Structure 1
Amino acid sequence: MTGPHLAYTYAIARYTDGLAQVVAALTGVAASRVHLVQPTRGRDPVAAVSPVPAEDFDETALRRHLEELAWLEEVARSHHGVIEAIAAHTTVLPLRLATVHLDDGRVRAVLDARQETFLDRLTQLADRLEWGVKLYLDAPATPPPPPPADLGPGRAYLHHRRAEQDLRQDSHDAARTAAERIDAAARLHAVDRVRHRVQQGELAPGPGTNVTNDAYLVPVERAEAFRADVMRSTDGLPGIRVDVTGPWAPYSFAAPHEEEDTAP
């Protein structure tokens, strides 16, 4: 790579003897080869890094690129591809998209300064992966019944409004019940949860309204039971759809978190 470049950092990982070979085969952001940076003392933890052109990733350029959806999608695809490949081999702490440092020396300085913190978190995440659980509420299948024919216009309007409110309340109650059932089922297996903001607009593809958007940290050996119990948890509740995705590297659990109260 010609010209000034920066060190794009994908993740912090637990070192293994075969990790360097795995990483050496990876192509990351800006079609650059990925390599490992180790701390000054010891081999653990390591950072997965690749050089990227400063003209695209310095502070000024990033502000401009963050408005370019196609550019962001390409970077995100490469970023997550590197992380998932490493996560298939060892425990990983994913970093935020477009985490850049001046050079490998600065990356090493971060590893040195936070070595024990990184190692503690990696120990907590060992043999655990992230699963996403989204709850959707479908629109009522039928409109409220028409008002009785003997009502005048004013009373008929009020009757219709009350019927609409009853439908909305029924939907709200169903969503709350579903959310409680899902979380109870998930917590039989998960060791942690992060509650994200619900998705709206283009971020919420498919039918229905997204009412919860949670991430659960689940031990690898409990994955199948987790998925099965969550999917069964809303049986018998009409108008409810549950979307379970994963497993993923523990993106939502790489750092301590504070949950946002977004329950329905």
Structure 2
Amino acid sequence: MLYVYAVTADHIADSDDLLPEEGILPDVPVRRFRWGTLAAVASPVPDTVFGAATLPGRLEDAPWTRACVLAHQRVVSALLPAATVLPLKFCTLFSGEPALSAAIAGHREALERAVDRLRGAREWGVKLFFETPAPVARLPETVGAGAGAAFFRRKREEQQARLAADAALDLCVATSHRRLASHARAAVANPVQPPELHRQPAVMALNAAYLVATADETAWRACLSDLERTYAAAGARYVLTGPWGAYNFAGAGLV
């Protein structure tokens, strides 16, 4: 079997020498299979681990799966300086080189369009967090005459304050994504992560990816810095990650 990490193009000279020594499993080599201007980076893997009868059970082992996901990402990241990289999803598998070759041939036009889209650009991630807002200040309790009217007035003012805070947050998120996207070749806002995944003492309000041309990265980073200054007082915290293989922009892949 072949475990395939990515399709590549625009290879620099001697790029095969830059392939990682270890692949998805320890002591598993990484090879590049070429078809004209396109290539696939893959590792031979045993059926006893990645075969249809055994892989589902293996994936139930969370530490093993995490190690494999990280190994997949390490290989893709190592390819970025040496080629245009179309990363494939985790556990893209083929029975052997003939099946992989047939998939490349069948998807060649789509792969070449994806190469054109990604050439000279890298994917960056931006996560926007807000500290959990403090409770809205409450008016002192009122007793006696007029207490009922004061209670409803207090509730109304608290609701208005919450609505104003929510509107300000929404405006920050929309403005941030729009401005960052204006300096990118493409952008996508992914679903925000729950606290058990991001593990931050804050609320995630934006989880976005941007395909940025290397020639535009300075302007894009300057835009991010300006947003950080603009919204710091509002409790906004931007987390930049990357560069990554362009998973969000590569297309459907080979399967």
Alignment TM class, shorter chain as reference: 0.7 to 0.9
Q: Which residue type is aligned with residue 193 of structure 1?
A: A
Partners of 1:119 and 1:154 in 2: CA distance:
70
Q: Which residue type is aligned with residue 243 of structure 1?
A: V
SS of 2:163's equivalent?
helix
Q: Which residue type is aligned with residue 174 of structure 1?
A: A
Q: Give CA deviations for 1:31-75 in whole Å, capped at 9, x if unaligned.
A: 210001123xxx221000001222221223332233322112100
User: In percent, how many aligned pairs have the same letter?
Assistant: 28
Q: Structure 2, unaligned stretches of length 5 or more?
A: none
Match among 198, 210, 215 for residue 216 of structure 1: 210
Q: Give CA deviations for 1:68-117 in whole Å, capped at 9, x if unaligned.
A: 22112100111011101111111000000111111122111111212232
Partners of 1:202 and 1:60 in 2: CA distance:
31
SS of 1:198's equivalent?
coil
SS of 2:123's equivalent?
strand
CA contact (8 A) 1:140 1:167 kept: no
Give the aligned partner of residue 178 of structure 1. 172
Alignment of 1:3-152 (within 5 A): 6-16=1-11, 17-23=13-19, 25-31=20-26, 32-39=28-35, 43-150=36-143
Partners of 1:155 and 1:69 in 2: CA distance:
57
CA contact (8 A) 2:138 2:158 kept: no
Partners of 1:154 and 1:52 in 2: CA distance:
73
TM-score, structure 1 normalization: 0.84
CA contact (8 A) 1:84 1:248 kept: yes
SS of 1:97's equivalent?
strand
Q: Structure 1, unaligned stretches of length 5 or more?
A: 1-5, 257-264
Match among 185, 199, 220 for residue 226 of structure 1: 220
Give 1:120 deviation, angstroms. Answer: 2.0
Q: 1:153 to 1:12 in 2, by over 3 A?
A: farther
